[in-house]
């Protein structure tokens, strides 16, 4: 089952480089060279078109199509799916020399080089095209998406004829005709097509949802000075395009620049739509004011700030150095809190796999990264769950529960998972929201968020948990029956350790917040209380939620009686009631060709033994690390690790982090190995369909929580850094309460300092230390040296 690298790109600490073009990797490269700015995503396909294998993918966060299913005879089974729909190709370009179309699938070319500059967020490409007549033309392409004005993207093409003068034709357009590849259909209706001299625009409407996308662009550059003619041209019925004929001069570079504005309207009612119409009517003027170089400078400065706050440096291991920067770069590309009410799809904005659906990966994989790098983005991710609370309440109703049941897979907040067994049995999307609120509040101390957004969600999740669970043994035990925990290889089980644990946590945390809120009017107000403007507001909050003392005391009783399967003698938590009695499978004996099991084993066979896909019990031990003794972690690790086949991409990171904690340093590195380069080296052989965006976040956790030994669930931050054998050292930095903590780990010492004067109390190797701007050097104890 060992994963094997399929390395294609050149290693470099700051760039991803493709030297020479291999068509076999065309789609992998498209994914890896994807640009994104949360609002939109643009795969790294060739601007000028390409007849080889390609997914000309453009995706807009929250813009989706809907597919209806035959309604089920059973209640609570979703009857439609939503998918992020492939949208406008706004860099559509065709380049002709005479009648000859440039097409790297057919044309002759040399000196191909493509570079993703992660430091500055810019993708560039260059090559020399040799026409059939033997003329050589040097072409350079550059593109970026504005991080400041997220609906804006920019393209620059530079053309230099080598050793000849000649005419060239450039067709540039906005094209909605690309099919949504996974369905083989196009889902757009187009209207309002305009093709004025320097300005194109087109309005697209998603057929099944009515959502709108207004795309427009403006051309500039010195090609205008060399223009022979230009005209409107019809490329297809769903495109706006113009053709420019330009006179090129030998050795002289001509630049063609486009700035595009893509305005997406998710919600066709109320303010959002009005805003969209207003922006749309001003977009022509807006485009006139934007300048390529200014936008580019803004972007460079935006990315420099990111690296100042979030860079990870690995010394002596350039592969992982490039890999981890690629991960950090992708995280910020995918989401940085530009907009409330959107989420992160499993593939980000880089492909159609998983239909652009967001999973609970957001709260468990991605949120820790954002909390320690971009707390505002973390908050906005949680606000997505607040905005979609009505849908979660509706879903709870259809599952015969009160409160809110968050979807397993979603774009708009509605359940999009077609498999009832996942959609109806997995409670972890809901408890992950509670976990995310707790985590965010704990690290940021943002009580205002907690009251305004967090508490209403917590209360509704508790209501669901109080109606989905059951009492047994005459009211002595409470827990969840017929659930599927994060480990999807145990389908329909009772008292799943993770589910029950998270249920108890959610009740207890919510009750604690409520208690603090109620105490706000007392003589010695709590922190939550102090944060409230007045008692009136707290009363109103409680009143709105309709909470009674009886309801709270029921939750309290449920939390107290929550059954967590545990064996006192062995200190082992049982993954679910009866797990220890399951038939044992020696996973080492499963032939390599049986993987992935879903394709090679009969569906039901996967569920009939003690093999697990990812470790539920170890997951709890990572999330609530401070609650477990090291010896307990060691025992459970040693029991569950040999039973886990890691078909979930988070699984190796969980193992790596805990292995480091129990000083299995070699094993920790073994599990870390491909974390940073999962997509760069195409370990899963499916990078062509998009990046494993949410898994990417795990690579960050792997370094900060794993080797850095950071823990954030206790009363204060703690660190127990270790250094993998092959590394000279590494450093990382985290944002923490308006401060940045820098951690540099050499083979002998750990050096801490902060960006700000405010002292930060932390715990290092079990001892309290106060950090400040002055470097604090702590020698690494022997047992942590691996």
- Terminal Cα distance for the chain, rounded: 25
- The HSE-up count of residue 256 (CA atoms within 13 Å, CB side) is 30
Respond yes or no: is residue 527 known to be catalytic: no
435 and 486 Cβ atoms separated by less than 8 Å: no
Q: Least CB distance from residue 696 to a second copy, whole Å?
A: 24
426 and 408 Cβ atoms separated by less than 8 Å: yes
- Pick from 607, 624, 742, 765 the residue near a second copy by CB under 8 A: 607
Stretch in the footprint of a second copy (CB under 8 A) among 236-244, 577-585, 623-631, 702-710: 577-585
* Residues 6 or more apart whose Cβ sits within 8 Å of residue 128: 109, 110, 111, 136, 137, 138, 139, 162
Q: Least CB distance from residue 436 to a second copy, whole Å?
A: 25
- Pick from 583, 588, 591, 766 the residue near a second copy by CB under 8 A: 583
- Pick from 251, 578, 642, 714 the residue near a second copy by CB under 8 A: 578
Residues 609-648 vs a second copy: string with x where CB under 8 A?
x---------------------------------------
- Pick from 225, 271, 569, 604 the residue near a second copy by CB under 8 A: 604
Q: Least CB distance from residue 75 to a second copy, whole Å?
A: 5
- Selection from 525, 594, 681 nearest residue 5 by Cα: 681
Burial of 540 (0-12, 13-18, 19+ CB in 10 A): exposed
- How far apart (Å, rounded) are the C-alpha atoms in residues 322 and 314? 9
Closer Cβ to a second copy, 543 or 581, answer by number:
581
Of 48, 415, 460, 488, which residue is the catalytic one? 488
Closer Cβ to a second copy, 149 or 608, answer by number:
608
636 and 617 Cβ atoms separated by less than 8 Å: yes
- Pick from 17, 313, 582, 590 the residue near a second copy by CB under 8 A: 582
778 and 752 Cβ atoms separated by less than 8 Å: yes
> Site size for a second copy, by CB under 8 A?
40
Residues 62-91 vs a second copy: string with x where CB under 8 A?
----------xxxxxx--------------
313 and 321 Cβ atoms separated by less than 8 Å: yes
Closer Cβ to a second copy, 18 or 488, answer by number:
488
- How far apart (Å, rounded) are the C-alpha atoms in residues 701 and 331? 12
Q: Least CB distance from residue 599 to a second copy, whole Å?
A: 7
Stretch in the footprint of a second copy (CB under 8 A) among 230-238, 323-331, 392-400, 731-739: 392-400
**By CB under 8 A, is residue 302 in contact with a second copy?**
no
Q: Which two tokens stand for residue 98?
A: 């005479």
- How far apart (Å, rounded) are the C-alpha atoms in residues 407 and 414? 7
Stretch in the footprint of a second copy (CB under 8 A) among 172-180, 222-230, 244-252, 602-610: 602-610
- Selection from 296, 342, 285, 467 nearest residue 59 by Cα: 342
- Pick from 273, 420, 742, 765 the residue near a second copy by CB under 8 A: 420
- Pick from 7, 148, 249, 600 the residue near a second copy by CB under 8 A: 600
- How far apart (Å, rounded) are the C-alpha atoms in residues 348 and 364? 15
**By CB under 8 A, is residue 685 in contact with a second copy?**
no
676 and 323 Cβ atoms separated by less than 8 Å: yes
- Pick from 216, 424, 444, 636 the residue near a second copy by CB under 8 A: 424
Q: What's phi and psi for 135, nearest 5 deg?
A: -70, 145
- Pick from 1, 162, 294, 492 the residue near a second copy by CB under 8 A: 492
- How far apart (Å, rounded) are the C-alpha atoms in residues 576 and 565? 7
Closer Cβ to a second copy, 52 or 397, answer by number:
397
Residues that bind a second copy (CB under 8 A): 72-77, 398-401, 420-421, 424-425, 470-473, 481-482, 491-492, 494, 577-578, 581-584, 598-605, 607-609
Annotated catalytic residues are: 488
């Amino acid at each position: 089952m060992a994963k094997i690298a399929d390395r294609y790109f050149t290693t470099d600490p700051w760039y991803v480089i493709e030297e020479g073009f291999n068509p076999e990797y065309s789609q992998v490269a498209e994914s890896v060279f994807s640009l994104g700015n949360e609002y939109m995503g643009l795969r790294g396909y060739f601007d000028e078109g390409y007849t080889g294998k390609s997914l000309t993918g453009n995706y807009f966060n929250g813009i989706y199509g809907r597919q209806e299913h035959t309604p089920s005879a059973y209640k609570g089974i979703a009857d439609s799916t939503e998918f992020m729909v492939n949208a406008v190709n706004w860099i559509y370009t065709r380049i002709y020399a005479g009648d000859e179309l440039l097409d790297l699938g057919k044309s002759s070319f040399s000196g191909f080089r493509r570079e993703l500059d992660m430091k500055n967020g810019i993708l560039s490409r260059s090559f020399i095209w040799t026409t059939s007549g033997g003329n050589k033309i040097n072409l350079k392409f550059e593109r970026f998406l504005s991080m400041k004005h997220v609906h804006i993207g920019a393209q620059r093409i530079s053309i230099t004829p080598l050793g000849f003068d000649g005419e060239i034709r450039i067709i540039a357009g906005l094209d909605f005709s690309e099919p949504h590849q996974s369905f083989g259909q196009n889902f757009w209706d187009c209207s309002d097509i305009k093709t004025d001299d320097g300005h194109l625009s087109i309005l697209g409407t998603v057929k099944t949802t009515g959502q709108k996308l207004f795309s427009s662009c403006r051309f500039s550059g010195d090609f205008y000075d060399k223009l022979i003619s230009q005209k409107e041209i019809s490329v297809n019925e769903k495109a706006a395009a113009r053709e420019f004929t330009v006179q090129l001069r030998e050795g002289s570079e001509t630049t063609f620049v486009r700035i595009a504005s893509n305005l997406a309207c998710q919600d066709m009612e109320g303010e959002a739509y009005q805003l969209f119409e207003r922006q749309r009517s001003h977009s022509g003027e807006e485009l006139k004011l934007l300048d390529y170089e200014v936008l580019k400078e803004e972007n460079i400065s935006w990315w420099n700030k990111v690296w100042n706050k979030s860079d990870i440096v690995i010394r002596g291991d350039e592969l992982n150095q490039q890999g981890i920067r690629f991960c950090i770069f992708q995280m910020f590309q995918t989401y940085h809190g530009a907009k409330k009410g959107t989420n992160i799809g499993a593939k980000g904005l880089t492909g159609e796999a998983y239909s652009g659906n967001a999973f609970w990966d957001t709260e468990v994989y991605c949120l820790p990264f954002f909390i320690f790098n971009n707390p505002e983005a973390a908050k906005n991710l949680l606000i997505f769950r607040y905005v979609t609370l009505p849908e979660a309440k509706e879903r709870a109703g259809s599952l015969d529960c009160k409160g809110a049941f968050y979807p397993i897979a979603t774009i708009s907040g509605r359940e999009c998972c077609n498999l009832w067994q996942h959609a109806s049995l997995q409670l972890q999307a809901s408890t992950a929201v509670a976990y995310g609120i707790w985590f965010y509040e704990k690290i940021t101390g943002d009580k205002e968020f907690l009251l305004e957004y967090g508490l209403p969600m917590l209360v509704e999740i508790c209501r669901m948990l109080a109606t989905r669970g059951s009492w047994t043994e005459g009211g002595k035990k409470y827990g969840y029956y017929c659930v599927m925990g994060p480990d999807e290889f145990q389908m329909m089980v009772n008292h799943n350790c993770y589910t029950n644990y998270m249920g108890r946590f959610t009740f207890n945390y919510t009750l604690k917040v409520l208690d603090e809120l109620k105490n706000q009017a007392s003589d010695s107000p709590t922190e939550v209380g102090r944060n409230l403007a007045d008692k009136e507001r707290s009363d109103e909050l409680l009143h709105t939620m309709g909470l009674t003392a009886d309801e709270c005391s029921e939750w309290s009783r449920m939390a107290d009686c929550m059954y967590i399967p545990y064996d006192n003698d062995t200190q082992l938590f049982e993954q679910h009631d009866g797990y220890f009695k399951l038939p044992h499978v020696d996973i080492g004996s499963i032939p390599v060709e049986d993987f992935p099991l879903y394709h090679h084993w009969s569906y039901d066979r996967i569920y009939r033994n003690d093999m697990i896909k990812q470790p539920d019990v170890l997951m709890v031990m990572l999330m609530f690390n401070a609650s477990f003794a090291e010896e307990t972690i060691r025992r459970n690790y040693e029991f569950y690790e040999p039973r886990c086949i890691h078909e979930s991409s988070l699984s190796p990171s969980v193992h790596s982090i805990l292995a480091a904690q129990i000083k299995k340093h070699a094993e920790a590195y073994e599990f870390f190995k491909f974390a940073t380069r999962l997509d760069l080296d195409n370990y899963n052989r499916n990078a062509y369909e998009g990046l494993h965006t949410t898994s990417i976040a795990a690579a960050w956790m792997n370094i900060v929580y794993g080797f850095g030994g950071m823990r954030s669930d206790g009363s204060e931050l703690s660190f127990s850094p270790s250094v993998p054998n092959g590394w000279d050292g590494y450093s990382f930095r985290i944002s923490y309460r308006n401060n940045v903590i820098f951690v540099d780990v050499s083979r002998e010492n750990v050096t801490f300092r902060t960006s700000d004067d405010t002292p930060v109390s932390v715990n290092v190797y079990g001892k309290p230390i106060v950090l400040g701007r002055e470097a604090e050097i702590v020698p690494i104890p022997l047992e942590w040296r691996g």
